Chain A
């Protein structure tokens, strides 16, 4: 059911005809620590021309370019925040797979937990309402007649 992704992949593969494949062996940095940081950071950056893929997973040429940029900048001693800022300046918030917490994304980040809190609130209110004694309504005339009849039978 990942057909849309596949169609996008197919389209991309047709556009950039060199069959590249996610992280290629020639991109790997010699310093394993730096490479690990590069992998971690790349998995949070979106391949801008793909359907919901990180540049770490994508075989698109643009993703390769971004992977190389990330690695060059890491080698030059920049930290993750600086690289992210650089990419956001260039490509916009869209490049981050983990959106930053801004007024635009408050509901996104808080939403699931608000649902949980609201649910707890509803359950609590319900439980409280149920345990508080409900006033017993007096018998109606009809019910009194019915009861009398039952008494006579019994």
Chain B
């Protein structure tokens, strides 16, 4: 007898089974990838090592097939699949049906492991010229991580589970997640998190092989830069989403879930700097290996913090521990294993490179010290309450005020030093020369801060200093490019030609550091923000910074899958109409909770931000209005930083496999 199928379709009803089966095959392939190439590398059997690349490609193929199958189930609104029922609705726009795939635990884990398989496939593709043993070890480690996550998905979080009987309609996606920002935020973030797995695999590969050299650094650097650029964009996207969607206009909340992504970013930032030292000076090798392990460990911890529910409450985690304990097992295996291997094998790696404290490499060590300490501040602040509760039962809160008090003192000195480090020469730097070269940039930045202070006398004192710091970073980067292109007596044409001829990594560094400056300026400018809370009636006006805001009307409206009460606000500058915003309260189909939809008007680089607090009887509404000057600089800077990373990535030197096996002399045999 046929069971009733509300959305009975033809052969593509099989898609879910195909996806499920592909997932099992991907697990099998990941196990092949884990053991066979590693055994081949151990016994120096070239044929077994040769399995690595095809196995990695096949694993990627089946993981992608599983992911595609789940996506099809979502697009078709196949409500015989539990995951689709819980997170989708047939009336949703197509784009949000697709993003619904990774809006939930099971689907996002599938996305995670698919991206991992993607990176394994990319490494296999670009690795044709890599030393065979190293490649075999690297892909084996990627296979092992993939195997753990395939198992995790199949045993505890299967997105292909069916539901019987199938309901006629899905429960809908949390409306707050139905947003373009959040649709692309998880993939970007995961490309970053999982991208660091490549550095981890290379580190473990180097430890297993017992050798590491500047060529290793050349192979790892592009992957790390790529992961870092994606993570930068992912964090910025998440921050912008929280800014406009959560409705109170903050851009960073020091929420554990945000901190979870900030920690790997800080470690990854330290890593892309230490790898350069290793590549150029053959130094910091052991530290770079450790950082590679730590960056990915923090990515795993980030995944664990968000996915296990341990943040909501230690007790709720303990009462339903299946998933949490599994992830904890993965954490202990990979982090513990990585660190144990490090402790055991690191002494085998020969330390290279003497260096003077006043030099580019010395400055980069300082960079790594500060970034590590800043990362530790975030780590301790995020996990301390969990640890304390688990150990003593005492409950404390660690929130924004703590992080502001510890994180800032550790990052501001670093920011001050960035232009100096960037201008120091390798091996033996000359502080006096650097001071001369940076004098103009410093003077201009200081002048900028003074001008800003003079213009905005009543504002907070720290803000002009912040602007000065941002200018210092931007001008310091510009002067580095100028100094590398300029020679006494050279004509402008010559300088420009030389500047264009500088390596892309030099431009990438300058751009990334300037982007940091742009973000700093945006953050400093938040101090001049204006906030108004008011209850307004139609026709009323109030002042908001340089503008006047008038409530024109309060109207009910209908969207594709929601009802809304919108406040129509006109923004004027004197008599000139600058624009309109229409913040509202929305109630989505199938949800009883109204959500707040902010109204944003971008004026130059600032924004007018309006949200509805309360709809009151008699046509009046409570509104929150903000004028946020230069606020877009915060995220624009992150985009510039990521662009710098990608530019540096495109450098000829960084292209994977460029210096094809410069044979033995560069390699340092360890045993």
Instruction: Report A's interface with B, CB cutoff 8 A.
Output: 1-6, 8, 10, 13-14, 17, 19-26, 28, 43-44, 46, 51-54, 57, 92-99, 104-105, 107-109, 111-113, 115-116, 119-120, 123, 127, 130-131
A1-B185, A119-B372 known; A97-B397 Cβ under 8 A: yes
Q: Please list the 10 inter-chain residue pairs (A to B) with the smallest Cβ-Cβ separation, ordered nearest first.
A: A97-B399, A112-B377, A98-B401, A21-B613, A116-B373, A115-B376, A13-B593, A111-B380, A94-B395, A119-B369
Pairs across A and B, CB under 8 Å, 23 listed: A1-B186, A2-B246, A2-B258, A4-B257, A8-B312, A13-B594, A14-B593, A19-B585, A24-B533, A25-B534, A44-B399, A92-B395, A97-B401, A99-B402, A105-B396, A108-B384, A111-B377, A112-B373, A113-B373, A115-B372, A116-B372, A119-B368, A131-B354
A52-B256, A113-B373 known; A94-B533 Cβ under 8 A: no
Tell me, yes or no, whether B381 is within 8 Å of chain A by CB: yes
Taking the nearest CB of chain B, how far is it from the CB of A52, in angstroms?
Answer: 5
Cβ–Cβ < 8 Å partners of B394 in chain A = 93, 104
Tell me, yes or no, whether B543 is within 8 Å of chain A by CB: no
Residue from A1, A10, A46, A111 in contact with B399 in the complex, judged by beta carbons closer than 8 Å: A46
Tell me, yes or no, whether B650 is within 8 Å of chain A by CB: no
A52-B397, A98-B402, A112-B377 known; A5-B365 Cβ under 8 A: no
A1 touches B306 (CB 8 A): yes
A13-B593, A112-B406 known; A1-B397 Cβ under 8 A: no
Residue from A1, A5, A21, A119 in contact with B596 in the complex, judged by beta carbons closer than 8 Å: A21
CA distance A47 to B213 in the complex (A): 52
Tell me, yes or no, whether B624 is within 8 Å of chain A by CB: yes
Taking A4-B256, A52-B253, A52-B256 as given, write out 11 further A-B residue pairs in contact, using a Cβ cutoff of 8 Å, ordered by the A residue number. A14-B593, A25-B622, A44-B399, A52-B254, A52-B399, A93-B394, A93-B395, A93-B397, A104-B396, A116-B373, A119-B368
Cβ–Cβ < 8 Å partners of B612 in chain A = 21
Tell me, yes or no, whether B541 is within 8 Å of chain A by CB: no
Cβ–Cβ < 8 Å partners of B384 in chain A = 105, 107-108, 111
Tell me, yes or no, whether B535 is within 8 Å of chain A by CB: yes
Closest-by-CB residue of A relative to B613 is A21
Taking the nearest CB of chain A, how far is it from the CB of B86, in angstroms?
Answer: 13
Taking the nearest CB of chain B, how far is it from the CB of A63, in angstroms?
Answer: 12
Tell me, yes or no, whether B12 is within 8 Å of chain A by CB: no
A112-B377, A116-B410, A119-B372 known; A21-B399 Cβ under 8 A: no
Closest-by-CB residue of B relative to A11 is B593
A52 touches B533 (CB 8 A): no
B622 touches A21 (CB 8 A): yes
Tell me, yes or no, whether B250 is within 8 Å of chain A by CB: yes
Tell me the chain B residues, 551-599 only, with Cβ under 8 Å from chain A: 585, 592-594, 596
CA distance A107 to B306 in the complex (A): 24
B398 touches A107 (CB 8 A): no
Cβ–Cβ < 8 Å partners of B623 in chain A = 25
B380 touches A112 (CB 8 A): yes
B592 touches A14 (CB 8 A): yes
CA distance A86 to B246 in the complex (A): 30
CA distance A99 to B372 in the complex (A): 23
- Tell me what chain A mostly uses at the interface: helix, strand, loop, or mixed: helix
CA distance A36 to B110 in the complex (A): 47
From B186, B370, B372, B398, name the one whose CB has the most chain A CB atoms within 10 angstroms. Answer: B398
Residue from B258, B381, B401, B402 in contact with A1 in the complex, judged by beta carbons closer than 8 Å: B258
Residue from B248, B311, B381 in contact with A51 in the complex, judged by beta carbons closer than 8 Å: B311
Residue from A104, A111, A112, A115 in contact with B392 in the complex, judged by beta carbons closer than 8 Å: A104
CA distance A25 to B534 in the complex (A): 5
Tell me, yes or no, whether B320 is within 8 Å of chain A by CB: no
B401 touches A44 (CB 8 A): yes
A24 touches B622 (CB 8 A): yes
Tell me, yes or no, whether B247 is within 8 Å of chain A by CB: yes
A57 touches B250 (CB 8 A): yes
CA distance A138 to B345 in the complex (A): 27
Tell me, yes or no, whether B430 is within 8 Å of chain A by CB: no
CA distance A46 to B255 in the complex (A): 12
Taking the nearest CB of chain A, how far is it from the CB of B567, in angstroms?
Answer: 13
B398 touches A108 (CB 8 A): yes
Taking the nearest CB of chain B, how far is it from the CB of A32, in angstroms?
Answer: 12
Closest-by-CB residue of A relative to B306 is A1
Cβ–Cβ < 8 Å partners of A25 in chain B = 533-535, 613, 622-623
Cβ–Cβ < 8 Å partners of B401 in chain A = 43-44, 97-98
Taking the nearest CB of chain A, how far is it from the CB of B638, in angstroms?
Answer: 15
Cβ–Cβ < 8 Å partners of B407 in chain A = 112
B399 touches A5 (CB 8 A): no
Tell me, yes or no, whether B666 is within 8 Å of chain A by CB: no
CA distance A19 to B254 in the complex (A): 25
Closest-by-CB residue of A relative to B175 is A10
Tell me the chain B residues, 594-608 only, with Cβ under 8 Å from chain A: 594, 596
CA distance A10 to B394 in the complex (A): 27
Closest-by-CB residue of B relative to A57 is B248
Taking the nearest CB of chain B, how far is it from the CB of A12, in angstroms?
Answer: 9
A97 touches B369 (CB 8 A): no
Residue from B257, B381, B397, B614 in contact with A94 in the complex, judged by beta carbons closer than 8 Å: B397
Tell me, yes or no, whether B48 is within 8 Å of chain A by CB: no
A19-B614, A112-B410, A119-B372 known; A2-B377 Cβ under 8 A: no
CA distance A92 to B535 in the complex (A): 35
Closest-by-CB residue of B relative to A131 is B354
A94-B395, A119-B373 known; A52-B592 Cβ under 8 A: no
Closest-by-CB residue of A relative to B312 is A4
Closest-by-CB residue of A relative to B594 is A19
Residue from A4, A6, A93 in contact with B396 in the complex, judged by beta carbons closer than 8 Å: A93
Residue from A1, A54, A109, A130 in contact with B354 in the complex, judged by beta carbons closer than 8 Å: A130
Tell me, yes or no, whether B242 is within 8 Å of chain A by CB: yes
CA distance A21 to B260 in the complex (A): 27
Closest-by-CB residue of A relative to B365 is A123
Closest-by-CB residue of A relative to B391 is A104
B397 touches A99 (CB 8 A): yes
CA distance A119 to B50 in the complex (A): 42
Cβ–Cβ < 8 Å partners of B611 in chain A = 21
A28-B533, A51-B255, A130-B354 known; A99-B398 Cβ under 8 A: yes
A20 touches B593 (CB 8 A): no
Tell me, yes or no, whether B440 is within 8 Å of chain A by CB: no
Cβ–Cβ < 8 Å partners of A115 in chain B = 372-373, 376
Closest-by-CB residue of A relative to B377 is A112
Cβ–Cβ < 8 Å partners of B189 in chain A = 1
Closest-by-CB residue of A relative to B380 is A111
Residue from A6, A97, A107 in contact with B380 in the complex, judged by beta carbons closer than 8 Å: A107
Cβ–Cβ < 8 Å partners of A23 in chain B = 533
A24 touches B402 (CB 8 A): no
Tell me, yes or no, whether B388 is within 8 Å of chain A by CB: yes
Cβ–Cβ < 8 Å partners of A54 in chain B = 399-400
CA distance A23 to B611 in the complex (A): 12
